[in-house]
Amino acid sequence: MLTIYGSDLSGPCNKVRFVANDLGFNYEYRRMNLRDGEQKQEWFLKINPIGKVPAIDDNGFCLFESGAICKYMCDQKGSSLYPKDLKQRATVEQWTDFVNLHMAANMMKVVYNRVFAPLRHLPVNQESIDEGLKFLAQYFPVIEARLAKNKFIVGNALTLADMTLLAALDPVEMAQVGLEKYPKLTAWRQGLKSQTFYTQCHKEYGESLKQAAPR
């Protein structure tokens, strides 16, 4: 059986679960205790020598890095999330890279400093928040324009680009990142959050955070 090692608070981990759910994989989800350093234990380093999540063990075949895992799962199922056609696949890769490099990276600056740093009683870097918000304000309109033309980011079919952005934006409420200026993006997000692949993972990102918060 496929085993997914992850954390409920990790966007890349949730992306892997979104994809696995959408593709109908029967898998075991193993929540790793990152606070206690379970991901650095010898047994897990045999699965991922970097000591990070997500990672998978597919009947002895181990793989890490969320993008590689998602593509592997899609190719196993022959899924249109990651199409076979060379040009279509390249377009999906293009927008997935855009989301990872420009959207997710800057979103994480805000999420870390507004959510995780206070949770862990660590210093907050306001400059990093400001920088993240500045770049997000540049890139949100790009996605809004795409969704004004298409049902999904690449076209009229759901792809890995959508899954990647959905996972990256999961903490927007917790991080107080407003999407009010972007009605197409807001509607796209709400539509995907109602899908079974999402609700099988969680109802809301904030639920996972509340469960992880110290009492």
Peptide bond into 171 cis (omega under 30): no
Instruction: Write down the pLDDT at residue 98.
Output: 98
Look at residues 167, 172, 163, 164 and name the one whose alpha carbon lies nearest to residue 110. Answer: 172
Whole-angstrom distance, CA of residue 210 vs CA of residue 83: 37
Instruction: Provide block-wise average pLDDT over 10 residues at a time, the chain (215 residues).
Output: 96 98 98 95 97 98 98 98 97 98 98 94 97 98 98 97 98 96 98 98 81 48
Cα angle 20, 187, 104; round to 5: 55
Q: Containing H/E element for 83?
A: none
Whole-angstrom distance, CA of residue 99 vs CA of residue 167: 10
Contacts of residue 204, Cβ cutoff 8 Å, sequence gap at least 6 = 173
Domain boundaries of the chain, sorted by first residue = 2-77, 86-212
Region of 65 on the Ramachandran plot (φ > 0 left; ψ -120 to 50 alpha; else beta): left
Instruction: Write down the pLDDT at residue 207.
Output: 78
Q: Which CATH class is domain 86-212?
A: mainly alpha
Q: Which CATH architecture has domain 2-77?
A: 3-Layer(aba) Sandwich (3.40)
Instruction: Write down the pLDDT at residue 206.
Output: 75
pTM: 0.95
